[in-house]
Amino acid sequence: MMREYSHNLCEKDVTFGADNRGRLWTDGGCDGRFQVCYTTRKAVCFDDSECGTNAECSEGNCRCMKGYFGNPYHLCEDLCTCSAYGDPHYRQFEKKYFTFNGFCKYTMTKFHDPHGNCSFNIEVKNEQRGSRRRVSYTRLIDVYMYGMKIQLHKKKKVYINGLLQYMPVKLVHQNVTIYNTGEYGRLVTGCGVSVLWNGKSEAIVMVPRKYGANLTGLCGNCNGKDDDLVTRDGTDVSGKRNYEVLIGESFEVKDDTGFQTEKCETKAMDDPCTGILDQYVEKMEYCGMLHIKNQAHSPFRDCIEDHQDLAETLYASCRYDVCAYYHDVQRRNKIVCESLNSLAAECESRGVIVKWRRENFCPMACPSNMKYSSGVGGCPATCLDPYPDPAKCLFPPSEGCQCLPGFVSSGDNCVPVDDCGCESKMGYIPVGKSMMTLDCSSLLICNYNNGTGSLITTPIKLHCHQYASCALCNGKKCSDFAHCEDNRCVCDHGYHGNAYIECEVAGICYGKKCHRNAVCVNYNCVCKPGFIGDGYHSCQKLCNGHSCVKYAFCDGHECKCRNGFHGDGYSKCDKIQTCGGRLCAKQAHCINDQCMCKSGYYGQGATECTELCGGKRCVGNAVCIHGSCLCKEGYHGNGYFNCEIDGQCNGHSCAANAYCRNGKCQCRPGYYGDPYIVCRPLCNGKKCTKNAICDQGKCTCKYGYHGNPLVKCETVDVCNGKHCAPKAICMNYQCTCKPGYFGDGYVKCDSLCNGRKCEENAYCFKDTCQCNDGFHGNGYIKCETKDLCGGKQCAPNAKCINYHCVCKDGYVGSGYIECEGLYAVLFHLHKLEMLINEK
């Protein structure tokens, strides 16, 4: 019997969520103080055997196991899962990873249902963040399904057909639900398709495997075959050096999000880990927990041990992201936590739960009325469903913030059940929020009245632009301080920005003021063409396409140093000093008419003085950044010893699908082989051995070869380097006689005699083992020469029986030494008796 309790007020005849943590149960029902209300509902299950296929019993209810979806009491089907995270890394349905840099909009996955209502199209829009213009992140997700356009924006904001909706969202007719669960907002559809979005940069799409063969997009298909690295038209580009860019470009779509960039480009990702940065990245406070060499000290050790390919891939992703933002401490720390969170999610989907967060390392800060949990229920309590039945939940728990006992989810917050908002024909409205009806005739306001949310309808009058329809502009809603013009939302005079999202006062860009020679682009201040700078504090005019340094000016089309300074005007303009009739370099002073570098600098004082970097000298083609010698752009290596031109690796060229790391070529994640000659793609995450090929996702020995294609493939006539005897076969690299034969498998294999082995000196005759001529004995056990018996010679008048010498009939004795006739023995006995009698 399972007893249950309520997190809020005690009410009789109400079923609440089960709890196993030792609450105070009484038989007094709801009458006593400090007592807990309970029901006597029986548990649905007690062990896994009572649940359906791929389901398990948890807290008295059957739940689908991680990575499965369906009815846990009947059948849970394998889910195909694809994700986009970081900047950005894509994990396909078939668990292949690839990365490219692009600020466009792309088809993530798409399916056409010719016979039903389950067609869907999921697209992602990328954007640039921070100071690095060659790194992109997922900004939003567009889901096209059931004739609707559902948009998932930053901070988990939801728009349906252009109108802002508050979570939880429940569209009964379309069978769509959107709600907060842990770290993610979850979109669930009646066709089994679900989308998770953390409101920052991580998107996860899950679809039933039955759709697998007909899926297309960046996520590939889900048919169990090694055929996912293809472009939109189906061309296999897995062998191309720039296959990631080719795939990304082919799935570009028209950007209708309102966040278009000036130029949509999809590019390859350059390796930002130059110089000593690789050594920093391997530290435990950065990506070290993901590195295989730190496995023994990593909280992920159990997962890494079983899934080393996964750890290597995620380490490479974390390495790239941390190096790209190494000097942006706040973003770098956030990237480390996001990378570890991705590995934890991957491990959890494989059944390995990792508790890796600490109070001082990647803590998850939860808003008020919430607390962190490593197992937030897959179907949490919301204002539309405050008491969800765990037996009907199809989703497993996950890490994140959950509402405190007695609170339920409302919009982005957790509120007491009594403080829930209002249900309306426009959707759920939290207390204190409002929505306009589609015909612009009324404003729906949810107020707190008499202890509960109360919906108030207020008539209004609006005058729309001649080209605008009420509330929507060509199907979309305009933001505040914007109007509809030529079927497009346009910011009002004196405002600028994205008219569909936010219009700000001119000169203000995402709350900050731009420089006078800058404009606001996608909520970032960017210098106007012909100017260079950060857009906020400086925008200096370019000189023939170049920027002049401090103490320089543009003279026509050339940068020149001002009077009293010398240099090229592009990289430096130093103050002129004379020393013994010569000019000293910057950071040098004159001592006894000689230019000497100042303390902390080195070089020829008359020409150049370079600052020591953390007390050390940097090599040529290296610069000092934050106390570390790093190779210049276009070079790679160790900034203290050697910086060589990109494309070279310690004087050698790397093969396609390989990169240079610590002076050695290494195959990229997902590839193996000799990085100087050829890097082959892994076969469903595994390495095929020599003389093996990858066929439909499985390693197979080539024709004419046999063996384990993951270990060793040999020619059919060789077994671990040796030849087998006739009538023998090679099994597990050992020669073994075929059924019906026996022997060592290498020299000979003799046939069995009626299923039994004959002795060495025996042969099979009429299904019986018989000793060879000149031998005697048991043909199954031992055959000896006729003069031997059990390895010994018998005495005269003895015979061999069962390998023992026995005197013949009429003789007595040991059989080995002598066998005397019976009469002779009696004569001797008689003679002995007579001698005794004479005495």
Predicted confidence at residue 349, as pLDDT, reads: 65
Q: How far apart are CA 386 and CA 384, in angstroms?
A: 6
pLDDT, one tens digit per residue, over 546-567 is: 778 888 888 777 888 887 777 7
Predicted confidence at residue 268, as pLDDT, reads: 67
Percent with pLDDT over 70 in the chain? 88
Taking residues 49-75, report their average pLDDT: 80
Helix (H) or strand (E) holding 824: helix 822-838
pLDDT, one tens digit per residue, over 817-839 is: 888 877 777 767 777 777 777 76
**569 CB neighbour count, 10 Å cutoff:** 22
**491 CB neighbour count, 10 Å cutoff:** 22
User: Does the pLDDT of residue 489 top 90, yes or no?
Assistant: no
What SS3 class is residue 244?
helix
pLDDT, one tens digit per residue, over 355-388 is: 888 888 888 888 899 998 877 888 889 999 999 8
Taking residues 647-669, report their average pLDDT: 81
User: Does the pLDDT of residue 799 top 80, yes or no?
Assistant: yes
Q: How far apart are CA 484 and CA 470, in angstroms?
A: 10
Predicted confidence at residue 465, as pLDDT, reads: 54
Closest CA to 263 of 128, 137, 88, 132: 128
Predicted confidence at residue 450, as pLDDT, reads: 81
pTM over 0.85: no
Q: How far apart are CA 720 and CA 742, in angstroms?
A: 20
At 416, the pLDDT band (50, 70, 90 cuts) reads: very high
What is the overall mean pLDDT for the chain?
80
225 Cβ contact list (under 8 Å, min separation 6): 94, 696, 697
Query: Which CATH superfamily, name and number, covers 80-266?
Result: Mog1/PsbP, alpha/beta/alpha sandwich (3.40.1000.10)
Closest CA to 798 of 782, 784, 783, 810: 810
Q: Specify burial of residue 209 (Cβ count, 10 A radius: 0-12, 13-18, 19+).
A: middle
Residue 709: phi and psi, rounded to 5, are -65, -10
User: Does the pLDDT of residue 30 top 50, yes or no?
Assistant: no
Residue 305: phi and psi, rounded to 5, are -60, -40
What's 331's DSSP letter? H
At 1, the pLDDT band (50, 70, 90 cuts) reads: very low
pLDDT, one tens digit per residue, over 179-188 is: 888 788 899 9
What are the structural domain ranges in the chain? 80-266, 277-422, 647-681, 798-838
695 Cβ contact list (under 8 Å, min separation 6): none
Structure tokens of 442? Answer: 């009324």
Q: How far apart are CA 822 and CA 816, in angstroms?
A: 17
Q: Report helix angle 308-324 to 329-349, nearest 10.
A: 170
Q: Are 161 and 225 in contact (CB under 8 A)?
A: no
Alpha carbon dihedral 496, 497, 501, 505, in 10-degree steps, equals -40
Predicted confidence at residue 369, as pLDDT, reads: 92
User: Does the pLDDT of residue 32 top 50, yes or no?
Assistant: no
Q: How far apart are CA 290 and CA 154, in angstroms?
A: 28
Predicted confidence at residue 205, as pLDDT, reads: 93
What is the CA angle 820-825-826, rounded to 5? 150
Q: How far apart are CA 148 and CA 165, in angstroms?
A: 14
Structure tokens of 391? Answer: 């037996």
Q: How far apart are CA 137 and CA 204, in angstroms?
A: 14
Range with the largest mean pLDDT of 20-29, 131-140, 520-529: 520-529
User: Does the pLDDT of residue 337 top 60, yes or no?
Assistant: yes
Alpha carbon dihedral 686, 687, 691, 693, in 10-degree steps, equals 40
Distances in Å between the Cα of 356 and the Cα atoms of 340, 341, 345 are 8, 9, 11
pLDDT, one tens digit per residue, over 277-317 is: 777 788 888 888 888 788 788 888 888 777 777 777 778 87
**267 CB neighbour count, 10 Å cutoff:** 16
User: 277-422 domain in CATH 1.10.357.10?
Assistant: no
Q: How far apart are CA 173 and CA 187, in angstroms?
A: 15
